[in-house]
Chains A and B, each alone.
Chain A
Amino acid sequence: MNDILLAGPEHLGPYLAVGALLFAFGILACVTRRNAVGYLIGIELMLNAGALNAVAYGRFRSLEAAAEGQILGLFVIALAAAEAAIALALVYAVFRNFRDVDLDLVRTLRS
């Protein structure tokens, strides 16, 4: 672990550590948030962690893999945009039916 702390921008360790922390905070937000938008924020954090790991690993593998890692990051960003659009449409649909976006309230099928 000390190796990571002594490293700088030209080492792989810090990027992986940041990616792991972003992913963990995303999971934390998804588990604890009751608001649908807060949940969406957690998903965005996790997607960002994945893209960062892909770009970092591509950069550190070889010269050819660097561009491929960036293309993978590009796809992740496009998918995140699509996911955000659909999620906001769903949030709006839920808001129109329930007058709130609290995920605990949305259980029509159960009761």
Chain B
Amino acid sequence: MSPSIVLFWALVAVVVAAAAGAALARNLVYSALSLGVCLAGVAGLYLFLQAEYLAVIQMSVYVGGILILVLFGVMFSRDLLGNQTRPSLPARLLGGITFLVVLVAAARTAWVAAHRGMLQTVAGSLSVVRSAPEEWPGTIASNAPIHLGSLLMDQWLAPFLVIAILLTVVLVAALGLVRKELP
């Protein structure tokens, strides 16, 4: 095993363990902090996918912005340590069942390109994924940030503008929601 493979699997383990901590930790501060570890680990996975720009954005927006917001929101909680408001038994049962259902559904789905055999059987019927190879197509040069920028300004201009309008609306709406006199 080469060092990069060991590093990759260590990163995967950290991401999954941090996600479990974020979902299960009783103390909400621990939960928010392990969410931060999980988000940083996903940024590392983006690096493995050669999406360096996205990894930087993930670190600055998610870990730098959203996580601070969540930590700020944690302060509103009266029962921070989770001693009084434990999930009820039906909620735990329902949560465990949905968790297992989602995992089993994901494991039983015929993910094209995840298995060599399925690639040949399924790819013929789905033209969308016909080009999906099991391993990635070499090192790519087309994902440099400058390429992303030109693509964003050319082919993806309409969704980009919609996102821009949405962010403006969200900013105003958030200010309106926290105003002193709530209608």
B54 near A81 (CB under 8 angstroms)?
Answer: no
Main secondary structure of the interface of B (DSSP, over half): helix
How near does chain B come to A84, taking the closest CB pair, in angstroms? Answer: 5
Chain B residue contacts of A66, Cβ below 8 A: 50-51, 140, 142-143
Chain B residue contacts of A13, Cβ below 8 A: 111, 114-115
B95 near A31 (CB under 8 angstroms)?
Answer: yes
Using A27-B98, A41-B35, A63-B142 as known contacts, say yes or no to A52 and B42 having CB atoms under 8 A apart. Answer: yes
The chain A residue with its CB closest to the CB of B147 is: A67
The chain A residue with its CB closest to the CB of B92 is: A32
The chain B residue with its CB closest to the CB of A78 is: B163
The chain A residue with its CB closest to the CB of B99 is: A28
Chain B residue contacts of A95, Cβ below 8 A: 76
- Interface check A18, CB cutoff 8 A: yes
With most chain A CB atoms within 10 A of its CB, the pick from B5, B24, B94, B114 is B114
B151 near A88 (CB under 8 angstroms)?
Answer: no
Chain A residue contacts of B132, Cβ below 8 A: 12, 57, 60-61
Q: Give the contacts of B135-161 with A (CB-CB under 8 A).
A: 135-138, 140, 142-143, 147-148, 151-152, 156, 159
B182 near A10 (CB under 8 angstroms)?
Answer: no
B103 near A21 (CB under 8 angstroms)?
Answer: yes
State A66–B136 Cα separation when bound (angstroms). 10
Chain A residue contacts of B113, Cβ below 8 A: 12, 60
B87 near A81 (CB under 8 angstroms)?
Answer: no
Binary flags per residue of A22-64, CB closer than 8 Å to B gives 1, else 0: 1111111101111111101110110010011001110111111
Chain A residue contacts of B182, Cβ below 8 A: 93, 96-97
Using A31-B91, A41-B32, A99-B78 as known contacts, say yes or no to A81 and B66 having CB atoms under 8 A apart. Answer: yes
Task: Jot down 6 A-B pairs with beta carbons below 8 A, ordered by A.
Answer: A12-B136, A22-B16, A25-B20, A37-B74, A56-B49, A69-B51
* New A-B pairs, 10, CB < 8 Å, besides A26-B23, A85-B170, A86-B174: A13-B114, A16-B106, A28-B24, A41-B22, A44-B62, A80-B66, A86-B173, A86-B177, A100-B77, A104-B85
List A residues at the B interface (Cβ < 8 Å). Answer: 1, 3-4, 8-18, 20-29, 31-38, 40-42, 44-45, 48, 51-52, 55-57, 59-64, 66-71, 73-75, 77-82, 84-93, 95-97, 99-102, 104
